[in-house]
Chain A
């Protein structure tokens, strides 16, 4: 019986790894390939349209033909266009008023829903409905509610004897503004409320118990425990809320088309009217691009203003 032993001392030949083998197992290389599908998706659907939009704003492109580079001419003209300046004012007014009220009402609703309530699950589902209903549908419903001739609100108030003539909801400049702001608040509160509710539930009850033992009033509990712990969530939800409100299109378009006399034209609706309906792609793109500084400012305010404390970002407090 000859047992073949490996010769003691003989080592299997060592060969150094080839460049390809090193590359195959390199973590950076692998992660690049894993990220590629997501990156391609983002570039194709986010980065490319954004860059194209900004590029278009520097040309005089029209629908049906490409344009030539004209530098800042679109922007210069827009600076003197009263309709554009009005739309900027409208957008800022609409966003600030609607966001503040949405935040206040949403926070209040979240605090209420955080308490011990009967039928909590059903209540929370009901609260979410305005946000889930497609915007166009609720916009059409509001359009009927605010109709100058057939509004149920006017009709009810007339029957109760409180007013004598129909309220001109969407034909009077300021009435129209408040009407669309109201519709936006109605639609947007659930988003803020449910998100803040989620944040409230992460606050440890032991903190509240400790505060109660120390004799804190409900307001003090809110101000010193709830609110500071909630600020990261508030930053996130308000950023989203402000962004969506600023770029709102559907509600305005269905209810007023930007009227009366451009009093409810937001930058998004004006951009659509100029670019797609009017055919002036360059000018519409310039209006859209002009939204970017405002949106950036909103994001910066929320990131830096509301998340200053180190402990909110995961490090220990000073």
Chain B
């Protein structure tokens, strides 16, 4: 900058304002109009604080900040956003629930509202309004959002966790498209290992990727932790079949997966060490952004999880609901914010900026352009429809949440795959823990 004077600043400023003129004031006008007509009028002098999970994709966070700014301008409610790694939102929310003070809103992982349902504000009116306006909620979102007859949280989005794989290596192994049945998938893994292009799923305490694949494995073979009455039914021949399948798959994986946490498979895939894994779209996004990884970005693709003997998709995708705590001084403002987030003029650009990382819970948003912009994004758009809920057949409540947080199913698979326990032993440990959790 040779001549940075006040003149340059003023010139630059007007240029920026002109560029933003199309979106800025227009968005503001709409937001103001929305605030006038919305059924939830924030309380006078309301101020909100929200704790959300740390973004996976920077552009998503930028779009979210813009969204919040529009809300503030429209309603006059200032919102303080704090971000925590998504695993840490739950402990913080738990402490806040226990002590009765803290952020007004939490935006965290699926099980969060069910850990303390009586501390969440009843948001049935917001859910009904949004469902009617935008084509209805997907069934799993309804299960997650409701506790009994009332909605305790608003499902905002899913983070899809799909198969990521390298196309060229798969072609060389004899598979022109990714197998869609679990038996074929096992053959695929064997062929990939033979060609020295193995893959891997996390068997360490990886709350996202690890839980995703072990629950897929258990459910696809017909096993379940509990039945619809929350009776523990994990001790079944189907569970044993799932364990055998996992062990066979483990033999074809790269060594070291038992120590993987959620970041490890990203590292390994981007480093070219593995050629198939389960993950969100973050690997693809990171590869596209990094010029040295262009080859990986062009060579990789995504696929649905293979279907097992049960004959239908049995995937587990993470859902991020937003909830308001009963100790908040401004419940109407909280409801207004939650509704604002899911209005089309806000939600559509925000989903787009997430570059496919987040999937909608309301069916009207299936038409969002992000799903057709890049064919490799397509499968993630279906995540919310293909997922089963945490707890499988049973209730989505604190019990399911505890079972997942304590890695009961994951440890059962890890115990058997690494050879620490035999089939009966692994199942027995898991059964004992589940019986205690679901008592």
A: residues with CB less than 8 A from B are 62-65, 77, 80-83, 147-150, 165-166, 168-173, 176, 256-263, 273-274, 276-280
B420 touches A261 (CB 8 A): yes
A260 touches B259 (CB 8 A): yes
A260 touches B204 (CB 8 A): yes
The distance in angstroms between the C-alpha atoms of A283 and B79, with both chains bound, is 37
Q: Which residues of A contact B420 (CB under 8 A)?
A: 173, 261, 263
A168 touches B115 (CB 8 A): no
User: Which has the most chain B C-beta neighbours within 10 Å: A172, A256, A277?
Assistant: A277
Residue in A closest to B210 when the chains form the complex, CB atoms: A259
B402 touches A280 (CB 8 A): yes
The distance in angstroms between the C-alpha atoms of A7 and B420, with both chains bound, is 102
A77 touches B94 (CB 8 A): no
Q: How many pairs of A and B residues are in contact by the CB < 8 Å rule?
A: 112
Q: Which residues of A contact B401 (CB under 8 A)?
A: 279
Partner of A81, one of B119, B264, B402, B432: B432
Residue in B closest to A86 when the chains form the complex, CB atoms: B420
- Would A273 and B405 be within 8 Å (CB), given that A63-B94, A257-B261, A261-B415 are in contact? yes
A259 touches B97 (CB 8 A): no
Minimum CB–CB distance from A105 to chain B (whole Å) comes to: 27
Minimum CB–CB distance from B284 to chain A (whole Å) comes to: 20
B273 touches A169 (CB 8 A): no
User: Which has the most chain B C-beta neighbours within 10 Å: A165, A169, A172?
Assistant: A172
| Interface of chain B residues 398 through 439 with chain A (CB within 8 A) | 398, 401-402, 405-407, 411, 414-415, 418, 420, 429, 432-433, 436-437
Q: Which residues of B contact A261 (CB under 8 A)?
A: 203, 258, 411, 414-415, 418, 420
Minimum CB–CB distance from B195 to chain A (whole Å) comes to: 17
Q: Which residues of A contact B271 (CB under 8 A)?
A: 149-150
The distance in angstroms between the C-alpha atoms of A166 and B259, with both chains bound, is 14
The distance in angstroms between the C-alpha atoms of A221 and B90, with both chains bound, is 58
**Is chain A's binding surface mostly helix, strand, loop or mixed?**
loop
Given contact pairs A62-B398, A171-B256, A171-B258, a sample of 16 additional A-B residue pairs in the complex whose CB atoms are under 8 Å apart: A63-B94, A64-B97, A64-B116, A149-B256, A149-B264, A149-B267, A149-B268, A170-B259, A256-B204, A257-B205, A258-B205, A260-B418, A277-B405, A277-B406, A278-B405, A279-B401
**Is chain B's binding surface mostly helix, strand, loop or mixed?**
helix
A176 touches B259 (CB 8 A): yes
Q: Which residues of B contact A64 (CB under 8 A)?
A: 94, 97-98, 115-116, 118-119, 398
The distance in angstroms between the C-alpha atoms of A257 and B88, with both chains bound, is 14
Q: Which residues of B contact A147 (CB under 8 A)?
A: 264, 267
The distance in angstroms between the C-alpha atoms of A170 and B432, with both chains bound, is 27
Q: Which residues of A contact B259 (CB under 8 A)?
A: 148, 168-171, 176, 256, 259-260
The distance in angstroms between the C-alpha atoms of A277 and B112, with both chains bound, is 10
Partner of B205, one of A62, A80, A165, A259: A259
Minimum CB–CB distance from A86 to chain B (whole Å) comes to: 10
B311 at the A interface (CB under 8 A): no
A277 touches B90 (CB 8 A): yes
The 8 A CB mask of B89-100 against A (1 = contact, 0 = none) is: 011001101100
Please list 17 pairs of residues, one from A and one from B, whose beta carbons are closer than 8 Å in the complex, sorted by A's number.
Answer: A64-B98, A83-B411, A148-B254, A149-B264, A149-B268, A170-B259, A171-B256, A173-B420, A258-B205, A259-B205, A261-B258, A261-B414, A262-B411, A278-B402, A279-B115, A279-B401, A280-B437
B433 touches A277 (CB 8 A): no
A277 touches B411 (CB 8 A): no
- Would A276 and B94 be within 8 Å (CB), given that A63-B116, A148-B256, A149-B256 are in contact? yes
B204 touches A165 (CB 8 A): no
B156 at the A interface (CB under 8 A): no
Minimum CB–CB distance from B424 to chain A (whole Å) comes to: 13
Q: Which residues of A contact B257 (CB under 8 A)?
A: 148, 171
| Interface of chain B residues 219 through 258 with chain A (CB within 8 A) | 254-258
Q: Which residues of A contact B258 (CB under 8 A)?
A: 171-172, 259-261
